[in-house]
Structure 1
Amino acid sequence: MEKKNPISASELGTLWLTYQEKTMILRILEYFIEKSDDQEAKNLMGGLWQELHFYVNEIKTLFENDGIVIPMGFRKEDVNLEAPKLYDNGFDIMFLRILKELSMGLYTINMNMAYRKDVMAIYQGLTNVTQRIYKLSTVYLLNKGILTLPPNVTLPKTVEFVKNTNYMKGFKPLGDKRSLNTIELGILHHGIETNNIGLQLITGFAQCAENKKVRKYFIKGLELAKKHIQTYEEILLEANVHFSATSGSIVTTSTFPPFSEKLMMYCICLLNGFGLVGSSFGAMFSLRTDITMKLSLLSKDILLYGHEGIELLIKNGWFEEPPQMEDRPKIIKK
């Protein structure tokens, strides 16, 4: 048998994070499957549950073989299958699609930090699962009329080059700004789409949170999502682009929590990181200075909100500590 290298620190870190994320998604899927009244959606989520469960066990086995403690992650006590339906009309698949979008980016980073064949095999398998489920989710939502397509534009017929640096200027006191390019339009559409889903998710969490500080944190996140949507829509309206990437899904009036507050808080913190990357990506690839500035300011808001969430997790004893490097100065002093 081929001798394996000891697991590296980077591999341990990414596998630990993957275990946290996947056990959270399994609990969310269990609730959504239980409450779904659409057989196609149930089949889609049920198939994903089986595949993610397989890879969670693969990570467990790898940890056990290397003598690594199994993380706690999220367990059966973090979901209440008896809780009433909190979301309706396709929200389960809308949220599933967002989670798969997030996972695609994470697996790319994780694969870049993997050196052992068995670790790379886990991320390769998870990538294949994620891309397939993302495609199936998108087709499902389009067929149901829940997902809104980005707007169309007049298709280019010739190759053009930017003539001068005025192309980048967005703060003109006089005169019109240049029209949005399709890259900027795509970034803004995606920002509205993802924040709409986040708005609905955190509205449901705020309704059923029992801890006052946690509820206050969710309400703050709700207002932040509204601010993001408003910023994106204002840019589009200025450019005479009239559309709204809204979802047909709804939040019910239930106030009974389907998930533990630990799981809900971790979920929002995970999505904060995704939102921070998205805003930074948009700021980097937008070539109009006013859009870059607005997206950068939104990134700052997400960063501060994310730090507040981590502090709340720690204060409530919900933040599982990642594996640590040895504290050499402390060891030497002893």
Structure 2
Amino acid sequence: MSNANKHMPFPELTANEVSNLWSSFLMNSMQQRLLEYFLASTDDSKIKQIIEKILTQSQENINELKEIFDKENLNAPQGFTEKDVRIDGIKIFSDTFILNFCFDLTHLSISTYPIALSECTRNDIREHFQRNIAFTVKIQDEIVELMLSLGVYLKPPQVAIDSEVELADSFMYLNGFFGGSRPLNAAEIANLSRIIHRAQFSKMIFVTFSKLAKTKDLKQHFGKGRDGIEKVLNSLKEVLDKENIPISASGDYLISNVEASPFSDKLMLFFVNTCLGIFCFTMVNQAMTSSLRTDVVSKLGKISDDMKKFYGSGLLLAIKEKWFEQPPQAVDRKV
């Protein structure tokens, strides 16, 4: 920020800025608690360094966001406290699983921070999100490099692509339900493989959380998520299998059996509703808009509808348990 602008009073926050700051606080609060446990239970020194960097960034973000809320006379969210994690708990996840977990957290940041930046006008708020975007890109590069060196990075399919430029000469290009459907194009292959890799990770989250959850309702909810993800995998793999397009299998997601969860039910549900829910919705909707074969669009539409029902029930569960913090809202002007 230039010296000329440092002493200029900031305009009041817009509704978009308040919403994005609120969401950023909750996301960083969640990350802080997850990463505290990962740091205490990881054995690999290189993975520890990754965790330490993300944890430090999350803690700095929380402090900065608290200052902004305080200056604007707004109450900061409660978020998650030390009661939501047991960092002295025994090791549950393999180091590879933890590395993939960290990779997933960067995906959430990459999908949300740029949107937040585009909606903000105040210099200090824009700088907050710009710093986070730059950090996320850098740490994601480090994670990918480490995953490649460990041989655990799931690469997208590599297939022979027809290099000749052609124009579609009939509406049959869109057909996928009946005979004579064309091969998948590069965008469709990329979309399906991206969702499958995401679903493989999500399945293991649901398997793990269904074991760790304390309440019956949450165990059942995570169990439904596991079954739903299995249907997604079967549906999309069927399309790729018919065209002999290979897809990487999921990595080492070994977990240990434990009696006590290191995470609160509140924290696990929030992770599922945000990291899995929001990011998956974005991914599926992007795939629907760029896929042209009718059978692929139909499958993605079914997946989107099922996700709306599942994550809607997750939100209702959070409200029922009194875990859902209402975002700031406008003064009721109708009174």
Coarse TM-score class (shorter-chain normalised): over 0.9
Cα RMSD for the two superposed structures = 1.3
The answer (yes or no) to whether the contact 2:207–2:223 under 8 Å persists in 1 is yes
Q: Counterpart in 2 of 1:235?
A: 239
Q: Deviations over 1:225-268 (max 9, x none)?
A: 11111111111111121333411222222242111111101110
The answer (yes or no) to whether the contact 2:84–2:264 under 8 Å persists in 1 is yes
Q: Deviations over 1:101-159 (max 9, x none)?
A: 12111111111221110000000001011111112111211211112212212244432
The answer (yes or no) to whether the contact 1:146–1:249 under 8 Å persists in 2 is no
Residue 234 to residue 157, structure 1, CA distance change in 2 (3 Å): closer
Say yes or no: does 1:159 pair with 2:165: yes
Matches for 1:62-77 after TM superposition, within 5 Å:
62-77=68-83
SS across alignment from 2:151: coil
1: CA distance, partners of 2:240 / 2:214: 38
1: CA distance, partners of 2:95 / 2:169: 48
Q: Counterpart in 1 of 2:67?
A: 61
Q: Deviations over 1:1-31 (max 9, x none)?
A: 1111011111111100110011101111111
SS across alignment from 1:328: coil
Matches for 1:174-323 after TM superposition, within 5 Å:
175-270=179-274, 271-323=276-328
Q: Deviations over 1:175-215 (max 9, x none)?
A: 33211111111111111111111111121111111100011
Residue 177 to residue 156, structure 1, CA distance change in 2 (3 Å): closer
1: CA distance, partners of 2:158 / 2:329: 49
SS across alignment from 2:160: coil
Q: Counterpart in 1 of 2:131?
A: 125
Instruction: Return 268-277 or 32-41, whichever deviates more.
Output: 268-277
2:23 to 17, 25, 39: 17
Matches for 1:78-157 after TM superposition, within 5 Å:
78-157=84-163
The answer (yes or no) to whether the contact 2:291–2:297 under 8 Å persists in 1 is yes
2: CA distance, partners of 1:124 / 1:141: 26
Paired residue type of 1:262 = K
Q: CA deviation at 1:162?
A: 2.0
Paired residue type of 1:205 = F
Residue 325 to residue 193, structure 1, CA distance change in 2 (3 Å): same
2: CA distance, partners of 1:245 / 1:178: 26
Unaligned runs of 5+ in 1: none
2: CA distance, partners of 1:211 / 1:256: 12
Say yes or no: does 1:42 pair with 2:29: no
Number of residue-to-residue matches in the alignment? 328
2: CA distance, partners of 1:26 / 1:176: 52
SS across alignment from 1:33: helix
TM-score (norm 1): 0.95
1: CA distance, partners of 2:216 / 2:305: 25
Paired residue type of 1:198 = S
The answer (yes or no) to whether the contact 1:19–1:59 under 8 Å persists in 2 is yes
Paired residue type of 2:255 = V
Q: Counterpart in 2 of 1:327?
A: 332
1: CA distance, partners of 2:229 / 2:91: 23
Paired residue type of 2:235 = T
Unaligned runs of 5+ in 2: 1-6
Paired residue type of 1:253 = N
Q: Counterpart in 1 of 2:3?
A: none
The answer (yes or no) to whether the contact 1:79–1:260 under 8 Å persists in 2 is yes
SS across alignment from 2:271: helix
Paired residue type of 1:238 = K
The answer (yes or no) to whether the contact 2:29–2:62 under 8 Å persists in 1 is yes
Percent identity reads 28
Paired residue type of 1:298 = I
